[in-house]
Amino acid sequence: MSMKPEVRARIRAEMAPLVAAWRTSGETRRVFAGRHGISVPKFDYWTRQLRPARARRTPPAPGFAAVAVVPPPVEAGVIELVLARGDSVVVRAGADVVLVRAVLSAVVRC
C-alpha cells in the first residue's frame, strides 16, 4: 500500500531539517537517530531521499569500452609446432638440427 502524497510531503518536511542537522552534527546515523527516536532504517531511507541531487547515484550510460587486440609477444628464434592431438613441440634458436629431426620423426610416427 502506497503512502498518500500529502503524508509523504509532511514526513519529508519533518525529516529534511533532521537530516540536515545530522550532516553537520558529527554523530553517527545510529546515535543521531536514536537521540531523536527514529529507527535507523527509516533514518537511512530519508538520508538517501534527501541527498543533494548532484550526489545521487545515476546508473552509467550503457555503451562499449574500447578494446585493443594486441598479439602475444613473439620470442625471437622460437618455433612452436602444435600437433592435431593438442601436444606441442617447441624448438628454440640454436637447437641441434639432428635432435630436432629425430624428435619430429618420432612425433610423426606416433
The position carrying cell 550526489 is 55
The per-residue pLDDT for 1 is: 53
> Do 89 and 103 meet the contact criterion of CB atoms below 8 Å apart?
yes
C-alpha cell at 99: 635432435
Instruction: Name the residue among 99, 98, 100 with its Cα closest to residue 79.
Output: 100
- CB-CB contact of 15 with 33 (8 Å): no
Tens-level pLDDT at each residue, the chain (110 residues): 577 888 888 888 889 999 999 989 999 999 999 999 999 999 999 898 888 766 556 777 788 878 888 887 766 778 888 877 778 888 888 888 898 888 888 877 76
